[in-house]
Amino acid sequence: MTPAVAQYRQAKAEHPDAIVLFRLGDFFEIFGPDAERAAPILQVALTARDFGRTGKLPMCGVPHHSVDAHLKRLLDHGCTVAVCDQLEPAALARGVVRRAVTRVLTPGTLVDADLLEPGRSQRCVALWAEDGVTGVAALDVSTGDCLLAEVPGGLDGPQLVSELERLDAAELLLSEEAEAPAGLAPGALRSRRGPELFAAEPAVARLRQRVGSSELVAAGVGGWHAAQVAAGALLGYCAGGRLSLPSGFLRVRAQAPEETMLLDPATRRNLELVEASGPGGPSLLRLLDRTRTPGGARRLRSWVQGPLRQLAAIAARQAALAELQQARGPRAELRAGLAGCRDLERLVGRCIQRLAGPRDLAALRQTLVRVPQVAEAAAPLAAPLVATARTTLAAVPADLASVLERALVEDPPPTARDGGFIRPGYDPELDRIRAGSEAARRYIADLERVERERTQIRSLKVGFNRVFGYYLEVPNSHRQPLPPDYVRKQTLVGAERYLTPQLKEQETIVLSARDRAAVREQACLEQLWAQVEDRAAALTAAAEALACLDALQSLAEVADDLGWAHPVVDDSTRLEIQDGRHPLVEAALGPGRFVPNDIGLDGAGARIVLLTGPNMAGKSTYLRQVATITLLAHLGAAVPARSARIGLVDRIFTRVGAHDELAAGRSTFMVEMAEMAAILSAATPRSLLVLDEIGRGTSTYDGLSIAQAILEYLHDHPAVAARTVFATHYHELTALAGSLRALRNHRVEVVEEGEGPGARVTFLHRIVPGGADRSYGIHVAELAGLPRAVVRRAQVLLEDLEAERRLPSDESPPRQLALPLAVAHPVVAELKALELDGMTPLAALQKLAEWQVRARGDEPVE
Amino acid sequence: MVTPGGRIRVLPPAIADAIAAGEVVERPASVVKELVENALDAGARQVRVEVAEGGRASIRVSDDGGGMTPDELRVAFGRHATSKVASLEDLSRIATLGFRGEALASIGAVARVEAVSRRPGQAAAARVVVTAATVEGPWPDGAPAGTSLTVTELFATTPARRAFLRPARSEALACARVVADCALAAPDVAVELHSEGRRVLRAPGSGVLLDAVRAVFGAGAARGCWPVAEPGDAFDVVGVVGGPGVARGDRAGLVLFVNGRRVQQRSLQAAVENAYRGLLGTGRHPLAVLDLRCDPEGVDVNVHPTKREVRFRDERGAYAALERACWAALRRTGGAATLQLGPPAAAGASSGSAPSGARPVVGPRPEAAVAARPGPALEWPAATPSAAGLPLAEAAGWRLVGQLHHRYLVAETEDGLALVDQHAAHERVLYTRLRERLERRDTADGRALPVSEGTGAAQGWLIPELVELPAPLVAGLPQAAGTLARLGIVLEAFGDTTVRCTASPSGVRPSDVARLVAELVDEALTERPDGGVMRVHRLAALLACHTAVRFGDALAPAAAERLLRDLAATPAPLTCPHGRPTVIRLGDAELRRAFGRPAG
Ligand SMILES: Nc1ncnc2c1ncn2[C@@H]1O[C@H](COP(=O)(O)OP(=O)(O)OP(=O)(O)O)[C@@H](O)[C@H]1O
Ligand SMILES: Nc1ncnc2c1ncn2[C@@H]1O[C@H](COP(=O)(O)OP(=O)(O)OP(=O)(O)O)[C@@H](O)[C@H]1O
Ligand SMILES: [Mg+2]
Ligand SMILES: [Mg+2]
């Protein structure tokens, strides 16, 4: 076994579940199963390499200078990574280069500024279920923000996944013994640790050690035992990963369930909240994001993830946004001021964690200089949210900026390692050390000239090697005698090397001064950290204020830019939108192409819209548009409509489109039904339901029956009497308007010219009252480029089918829903018509046998 | 009465003949103008214009106005078809922008037009396609209420005229001007222009003219403007006037309307410029957006085929009203007392908050001005030769007056004075030399330059300097030594974290050597994604910054003179390598304006 192989084996043994990146020369190599897992993620070639006695092992590698980009990819794919680096430059190493694991990275516990995503909180979430509740602790180690929540139900509870998505969990910490939460996306990293980490008493003690119990009570989490256990486990996990979480660093908050809306994963996906469904298209968040700072981007993201549920909170944001939207001048100033601000929240976190380098402090300095400018820009604005933020900014102590100004050089290096970042004149002690070594350095630098003069040896040289430092080198060719203070140290082929006591003395001064200066600069840095920490509360509040202003101006900017209007949000159960648009579809189509549409729902009257219309007409778009506008209204934001009035909604449920979760072992239809079941059990009369083509994933009759049953259930059960928009291709359902009082038929209008093949269908994308009777699916298939032969054949088959179906229902125009399920078996008709009187028992028995055969097998007679 | 074309009818010859006829479509911008004016006439609240290749490839204008029925749509492309004029008397009281019934017909004759329109009450929109003046359709279509017209293949059948079109960029600029004019004419309409898929202009349609001015001319210009609202007997004047601080080198900022119609009338322009007499220097023109409003009967718009000029019943009254309104607004706001410094890029002045009535404050604030620009503001071509990057040959003739606070050089120029940032200027001079040296192949052998005359050359040191460097840099020194030698820096490893520097360019202070060497070595060794393309630039800029005279150094007169001359000889003298300005010039005009003297 070569020494390098031994080093690798040890690193891998220490970090068995991590992908180990092992530095060899200019590359970081990955071996064995790690390589097989990493190569496709990193899109590098998989090769093989001789590996000691083990024989050949798979291997891949990445250049060391681009390792960060590769680390990021691995982390994005939920991998834990251990970086085993060289501890010394290969050129300087004697013997084998020393290597050791220098960094262990997991997606939820990153502190490197380069690896963190600026616009997204990085939450590591621990779960602990006990007594019918699940405690959730979500810690962002880059800021110290620690959010606790308690979710009813165990790890298989229906709400848990929604909560995890709202928290935007980057990593999930679970006990080895716990089951995985139901419905979790397969990609998310689940870190497992032994049950001892979750042992209740030590875990709670670990939390209490850092956060006093009075603080916990004040945060409103005093009674949340399960959440406290989860938090304690999380702290233990971080400590194991050598993360420093000083006591003042953690800021515990409670996630109050009544404040924000819980959106289930399907709804977040359907509305493309933070992730676009197709490649290239923007998500809703991207459309809304005109923030200028990372903190603002994170704030906006959390707003979009958790729409508000309380009228007062919505009204407060509306007031601020309405004012900002009008005040274009001040808004422009505000944006200019924010643009110079850096990530204040994380910078403060790095100072408290003692991770901030000189360049981080310079970024902090730059931000602090901008804070007054931002406050001034906000001065003309009166809305309470803005005014409060401004007051907070005005309260930031001004002294810190000037301390940093005096302490740090203009453009300091990223790390403290090489020194040179403290300005001369800031620290007298440092200035003294620097001055002291200066004389010694001059002595050594000048030595060559001085000694040449003294000895008259023109070829005398001053050199340096690592073994005995500075020396004087005299070639053997010299004739002159050497001064007595020359002490011979080494003999070479053509020369001798000497030292003098004075040279050694000066060398010591230089070397020790270098160390002392480094120590002193480090001390200065620590002082600066401490000064930041002393003001952490004010700075963190300022960071929040900046983030809030930034998120607000972003929403105002978008609303102004896209011509959106502020809705009325009240406690009615109305849902009225005039000239509503789907913001993402509209953006994709370009200006002046999207056809606006209205809706008018009222919980007390017309509560359900049954939407029919051809394929490609715009049903799904309309559904998502209604849901998106409702969601935006609950952010307090303006909406893409001429006007809107929206009664407070407690949850938005969407069932749009079908998708497989084969990886999770569930078929398309199973997923659809599971989502539907969850909706029916959780919806309330305050909810908004947007249901697209329920039942399409199975046979027509099954689907139609399920769809009708669901509609009836939503209509008749007061507990789920939610405002509902229901799109379907089952035109038979339109007949329900006759019996379901609160249901209204709407259709998407088309114009048809001509008949049969060659007919032209034009989509008007307009929603109008009334039901549709055709789907024009074949027309769409033709548009999509299906072979002509297929299209023609489909047309013929359709005509046959329609002719058949038209027969029974032709007589009664307002046709009662004739569910094909209810169509009696032909045997029944025969039974009814049978003349029993003229029949022998044997004939009757034969008839009975024949019917049985037919009923069982449904084969044709004879 | 129901006519086949709905409200649009074809004018009888008697009326048609009374209308000034001529060429309507000269270039893409004329198409844009006609279509946007139609949209405004149709009562639109939003008008979106999209052009591709400056309109040569396609122009699309969509509005949310009253729209047309299928019948109207078909008729609208006929000659003399209009809904805006029905009788000869109508011609004398025109309140709409259109009145000839010519525009769509002319466009349809020289291009392919696809028009889609829906009146708000209708379910379906109608679509027609016009090629070579032949209308096909209408067909039903799905579209929002309003009208959209897409014009392609402009002049495809008349290659001679197509050949006369300017390059796409110039045509795009012309389109932008037209759209900007419309945005300024109708501040209550949201007007957008998308060019090559990028939005280049958006006026919010807030009804506040200053918002439109901000969108068109930028936030800085808007801050330097004051509202004008001057009622009169026959003429009302409303709009904004800009102070001298936002004056321009061309007339693109002088935007005049008569009853909302953009006019390019010399006499009216003269009236405004007259009001500014004494405020602006020669060659400077005001920023002013003004609408002269009067009874439609008092003005004849039917005099020019492209409607560029109008005729007043009382020409002198119009002139006088305009001049008086401007003059009064300028005096009232005290605009004459402000002074604007700085290159045009920093044209935004003031930290004042509300633009209305507030007095602008002196002093450029480049970051604010740049950042505050909502999206890309329109870029007018710079008409003054003061844009950065132009040669400054005339500086060779400047007379040095002296040094200010050991920071700036003051020079007398042909017609005023110049302030030179000595550090920035010297940086530019050194940077230019260093780049030449680095790029010259014949010194690529790694030998140090001889110790020689001017600044920036290597200087050998009697006492070498010892510099602390991180070990990896010292280890990499052999790789970097050649490049550094060409810059005049001679280094050898002298310990695992120390190097000995035996020569460095003159101008480098011993106290600074350590930092400079560390940065240079680091730069020379750092692997960059650009593969070192920018390395020459970065090294030269770095060294120039370290070796240039400091902000605060006293300069001997001879050295200062040399600096001015050297600066004049560099190819891009107006900025330092980091992009900051090196020179601020105050011409006669600015000085006169500042002192309230009439222009000479
Ligand atoms: N209001 C609208 N204005 C303009 N175009 C629209 C509008 N609504 C939809 N469209 C266009 O029509 C396309 C199809 O819309 P959508 O997917 O909503 O149809 P659908 O009725 O749900 O069809 P299917 O029944 O096949 O699911 C959209 O991608 C969009 O391009
Ligand atoms: N965007 C539009 N919205 C509604 N109607 C329009 C629109 N564009 C044109 N029209 C109708 O078409 C008619 C013909 O337009 P056209 O521009 O050719 O003539 P005009 O505007 O009447 O006069 P001019 O030639 O002076 O512009 C108009 O009078 C108007 O009724
Ligand atoms: Mg659909
Ligand atoms: Mg017109």
B190 touches chain A (CB under 8 A): yes
Tell me the C-alpha distance between A175 and A458, whole Å: 75
Q: For residue B500, what is the nearest residue in chain A, using CA coordinates? A: A445
List the single range of A753-767, B71-85, B114-128 with lowest mean pLDDT. A753-767
B475 touches chain A (CB under 8 A): yes
pLDDT value at residue A95: 77
Over residues A152-183, the pLDDT tens digits come to 988 888 888 888 888 888 899 999 888 888 77
List the single range of A744-758, B114-128, B166-180 with lowest mean pLDDT. A744-758
List the single range of A48-52, A335-339, A589-593, A729-733 with lowest mean pLDDT. A48-52
Q: Is the CB of A595 under 6 A from ligand 1?
A: yes
Q: Which structure tokens are listed for A744? A: 């209204």
As a whole-number percent, the residues of chain B with pLDDT over 70 amount to: 80
Distance A590 CA to ligand 1 centre (A): 15
Distance A595 CA to ligand 2 centre (A): 23
Q: How confident is the model at residue A714 (pLDDT cuts 50, 70, 90)?
A: very high
Over residues A481-518, the pLDDT tens digits come to 888 899 888 888 888 899 999 888 888 888 788 888 88
Q: How many CB atoms lie within 10 A of CB B417?
A: 18
B374 touches chain A (CB under 8 A): yes
Q: How many CB atoms lie within 10 A of CB B429?
A: 26
- Enumerate the residues of chain B whose CB falls inside 8 A of the CB of residue A753: 140
pLDDT(A818) > 70: no
Over residues B330-360, the pLDDT tens digits come to 776 544 333 333 333 323 333 333 333 332 2
Give the C-alpha distances (Å, rounded to integers) separating A665 from A188, A336, A660: 17, 51, 9
Identify which ligand lies nearest to the alpha carbon of A772.
1
pLDDT value at residue A511: 79
Tell me the C-alpha distance between B456 and B508, whole Å: 9
Q: At what angle do helices A67-76 and A32-42 cross, to 10 degrees?
A: 90
Mean pLDDT (whole number) for B52-67: 95
Helix (H), strand (E) at residue A548? helix A536-562
- Reduced to 3 states (helix: H, G, I; strand: E, B; else coil), residue A174 is strand
CATH class for the domain made up of B337-342+366-600 = alpha beta
CA-based nearest distance B123→chain A, Å: 7
Q: Which CATH number fits domain B13-201: 3.30.565.10, 3.30.420.140, 3.40.47.10, 2.60.34.10?
A: 3.30.565.10
Task: Give A573's Cβ-side CA count (13 Å radius).
Answer: 19
CA-based nearest distance B292→chain A, Å: 27
Higher model confidence: residue B343 or residue A469? A469
CATH architecture of B218-333: 2-Layer Sandwich (3.30)
Q: Which of B21-25, B126-130, B166-170, B234-238 has the highest mean pLDDT?
A: B126-130
Parse chain A into domains and list their residue ranges: 3-105, 116-259, 290-397+535-562, 428-523, 568-773, 776-806, 826-857
Mean pLDDT (whole number) for A409-424: 85
Using the atom order of ligand 2, give the atom closest to the CA of residue B107: 18
CB distance A285 to A302 below 8 Å: no
- How would DSSP label each residue in B301-329? -TTSTT----EETTHHHHHHHHHHHHHHH
Tell me the C-alpha distance between A448 and A458, whole Å: 10
As a whole-number percent, the residues of chain B with pLDDT over 90 amount to: 30
Whether B48 and A591 lie within 8 Å, measured CB to CB: yes
Is the confidence metric ipTM above 0.85 for this complex? no
pLDDT(B266) > 50: yes
Q: Is the CB of A70 under 6 A from ligand 1?
A: no
Q: For residue B375, what is the nearest residue in chain A, using CA coordinates? A: A561
Q: How confident is the model at residue B510 (pLDDT cuts 50, 70, 90)?
A: low
Mean pLDDT (whole number) for A393-399: 91
Nearest CA to ligand 1 atom 5: A594
Over residues B213-258, the pLDDT tens digits come to 989 998 778 878 888 888 888 899 999 998 877 888 888 899 999 9
B531 touches chain A (CB under 8 A): no
pLDDT value at residue B479: 77
Q: How confident is the model at residue B569 (pLDDT cuts 50, 70, 90)?
A: confident
Mean pLDDT (whole number) for A332-359: 92
Residues lining ligand 2, CB < 6 A? Answer: B 8, 34, 38-39, 41-42, 63, 65-68, 76, 81-84, 98-105, 147
pLDDT(B5) > 50: yes
Mean pLDDT (whole number) for A333-357: 92
Cα A72 off chain centre by? 14
CATH architecture of A428-523: Orthogonal Bundle (1.10)
pLDDT value at residue A861: 42
The sign one gets for the Cα dihedral A396, A397, A401, A404 is negative
Using the atom order of ligand 2, give the atom closest to the CA of residue B65: 3
Of B124, B353, B471, the CB nearest to A380: B353
Of A65, A335, A594, the CB nearest to B144: A594
Q: Which structure tokens are listed for A544? A: 């929040």
Of A449, A560, A590, the CB nearest to B204: A560
pLDDT value at residue B380: 28
- How would DSSP label each residue in A30-79? EEHHHHHHHHHHHT---EEEE-GGG-EEEEEEEEGGGHHHHHHHHHHTT-
Q: Cα angle at A316 between A310 and A317, to 5 degrees?
A: 95
pLDDT value at residue B407: 87
pLDDT value at residue A858: 57
Q: Just give the CATH number of A290-397+535-562.
A: 1.10.1420.10
Q: Which structure tokens are listed for A233? A: 């486990």
pLDDT value at residue B512: 72
CATH class for the domain made up of A3-105 = alpha beta
CB distance B42 to B25 below 8 Å: no
Q: Is the CB of A617 under 6 A from ligand 1?
A: yes
List the single range of A44-48, A164-168, A246-250, A612-616 with lowest mean pLDDT. A246-250
A376, A362, A371, A386: which is closest to A340 by C-alpha? A371
| Cβ under 8 Å to A: B residues 222-251 | 222-223
Over residues A179-218, the pLDDT tens digits come to 888 777 655 667 888 888 999 999 999 999 889 889 999 9
Over residues A774-813, the pLDDT tens digits come to 777 777 777 777 888 888 888 888 788 777 765 444 443 3
Helix (H), strand (E) at residue B404? strand B399-404
Q: Just give the CATH number of A116-259.
A: 3.30.420.110
Mean pLDDT (whole number) for A369-384: 93
Mutate to test the interface with B, among A464, A562, A585, A597 (most CBs of B within 10 A): A464
Whether A592 and B146 lie within 8 Å, measured CB to CB: yes
Parse chain B into domains and list their residue ranges: 13-201, 218-333, 337-342+366-600
Whether B63 and A749 lie within 8 Å, measured CB to CB: no
Q: Per the omega criterion (within 30 degrees of 0), is the bond before B138 cis?
A: yes
pLDDT(A257) > 70: yes
CB distance B187 to B257 below 8 Å: no
Q: Is the CB of A615 under 6 A from ligand 1?
A: yes
pLDDT value at residue A137: 95
List the single range of A294-303, A457-466, A557-566, B465-474 with lowest mean pLDDT. B465-474
Whether A593 and B515 lie within 8 Å, measured CB to CB: no
Q: Which structure tokens are listed for B256? A: 């005049």
Distance B78 CA to ligand 4 centre (A): 12
A701, A714, A607: which is closest to A655 by C-alpha? A714
pLDDT(B8) > 50: yes
Tell me the C-alpha distance between B437 and B452, whole Å: 14
Mean pLDDT (whole number) for A71-83: 88
The sign one gets for the Cα dihedral A28, A30, A31, A35 is negative
The mean pLDDT of chain A is: 87
pTM for the whole structure: 0.78
The mean pLDDT of chain B is: 78
Q: For residue A596, what is the nearest residue in chain B, using CA coordinates? A: B144
Mutate to test the interface with A, among B193, B498, B525 (most CBs of A within 10 A): B498
- Reduced to 3 states (helix: H, G, I; strand: E, B; else coil), residue A303 is helix
Domain B218-333 identical in fold to domain B337-342+366-600:
no
pLDDT value at residue A14: 87
CB distance B73 to B57 below 8 Å: no
Nearest CA to ligand 1 atom 15: A618
B10, B19, B176: which is closest to B78 by C-alpha? B10
Whether B194 and A340 lie within 8 Å, measured CB to CB: no
Do strands A169-175 and A27-31 pair parallel, antiparallel, or not at all (unpaired)?
Answer: unpaired
Q: Is the CB of A80 under 6 A from ligand 1?
A: no
Chain A and chain B share a number of CB contacts under 8 A equal to: 128
CATH class for the domain made up of A568-773 = alpha beta
CA-based nearest distance A596→chain B, Å: 6
Pocket probe mutation, ligand 2, options B32, B85, B104, max atoms within 8 Å of Cβ: B104
Q: Which of A46-60, B121-135, B360-374 has the highest mean pLDDT?
A: B121-135
- Enumerate the residues of chain A whose CB falls inside 8 A of the CB of residue B515: 420
Helices (H) and strands (E) in chain A, counts: 27, 26
Ligand 4 is an ion; its neighbours by CB within 5 Å are B 38, 98, 103
Nearest CA to ligand 1 atom 14: A616
CA-based nearest distance B144→chain A, Å: 4
pLDDT(A682) > 60: yes
Q: For residue B371, what is the nearest residue in chain A, using CA coordinates? A: A336
